[in-house]
Amino acid sequence: METIDFSGIKVDNVTLTEAAEIVRHFIIEGKPRVVVTPNPEMIVAAQTDAEFKKLINSADLRVADGISMVVVSQILGRPLKERVSGIDLMLKLLEIGADYNYRVFLLGGAPGVAEEAAKKIKDRFPGLVIAGTQNGYFNAGDETGIVKKIKEADPDLLFVGLGAGRQEKWLNQHLYELGATVGMTIGGSLDVLSGRKQRAPKWVQALYIEWLYRLLTEPQRWKRQLALPKFLWLMFKPSV
């Protein structure tokens, strides 16, 4: 599998269909695996967080969750095949999983979000088994109980949406005790799947202005949006 380097962060050059097929094989093999979805904000954060950087690079599958990464890769002459957003890969895996009766565990989001997402997912993909849910606002003292709960649920797929940085660290710390086959980080996808947040419409995505949509719909995120120019600077700054 070809990897593309974004300022020290390695990303696998795969399409959505290829990524889903790789995860399906991970599940067949049955060993613990980690799937992460680096985006420009994570690439910027990883420059000053060595542990985060190492976790992304050591994951078993790393997909490019940002259209700007595709554009930059084209300009730099090593083009990514396409953007593979976390939520699209998650949906594809749920779709495939419905045919194979995968067991799915949803971890993350405010209280109630994972349950609401689970209900919507089950309505849409009846073949899936929702093995369990857990909100993402817990203390260190709750960790043992949560790990036990996930282990007993015995999921094929564990989706972890605890916010970038924390979710990768949590998954890496616990994957081997979880008994889950594949752990995938998903950021705020459960907010969207529960219906609490709207994803940018397709035409907005097609115009590459999802960042503008998020800025207008969630203005409190403006500081996080500065990651995009920082990412572009990282990728194009003149080397001295």
183 binding ligand UDP? (CB under 6 A):
no
Give percent helix, percent strand, percent coil of the chain, each to the nearest 5. 55, 15, 30
**137 sits near ligand UDP (criterion: CB under 6 A):** yes
Q: Residue 4 or 117: which CB sits closer to ligand UDP? A: 117
Residues 55-94, one symbol each (x = binds ligand UDP by CB under 6 A, - = not), give: ----------------------------------------
Determine, following the binding rule CB under 6 A, whether residue 163 of this chain makes contact with ligand UDP. yes
- Residue with token string 């949906």: 91
Q: Does 38 interact with ligand UDP (rule: CB under 6 A)?
A: no
Helix segments in 31-188, DSSP class H: 40-46, 50-58, 67-75, 86-100, 113-124, 143-153, 166-178
Contact status: 233 vs ligand UDP (CB under 6 A)? no
Phi, psi for residue 194 in degrees, rounded to 5: -80, -15
Cα 131–chain centre separation = 19
The nearer residue to ligand UDP, 12 or 65, going by C-beta atoms, is 65
User: What DSSP string runs through 17-74?
Assistant: HHHHHHHHHHHHHTS-EEEE---HHHHHHHTT-HHHHHHHHHSSEE----HHHHHHHH
Inter-residue contact 158 to 150 (CB < 8 Å): yes
Contact between 136 and ligand UDP by CB under 6 A: the answer reads: yes
Which segment (47-55, 117-125, 161-169, 232-240) binds ligand UDP by CB under 6 A?
161-169
Residue with token string 């203390």 = 139
Instruction: Report if residue 187 touches ligand UDP, rule: CB under 6 A.
Output: yes
As measured in angstroms, the least distance from the Cβ of 103 to ligand UDP is: 21
Q: Cβ closer to ligand UDP: 94 or 106?
A: 106
Q: Residue 50 to residues 46, 56, 178, 216: CA-CA distances in angstroms?
A: 6, 10, 25, 32
| Residue 193 Cβ vs ligand UDP, minimum distance, rounded to whole Å | 10
- Of residues 104 through 123, those in contact with ligand UDP by CB under 6 A are 108-110
Which residues contact ligand UDP (rule: CB under 6 A)?
A: 108-110, 136-137, 161-164, 187-188, 190-191
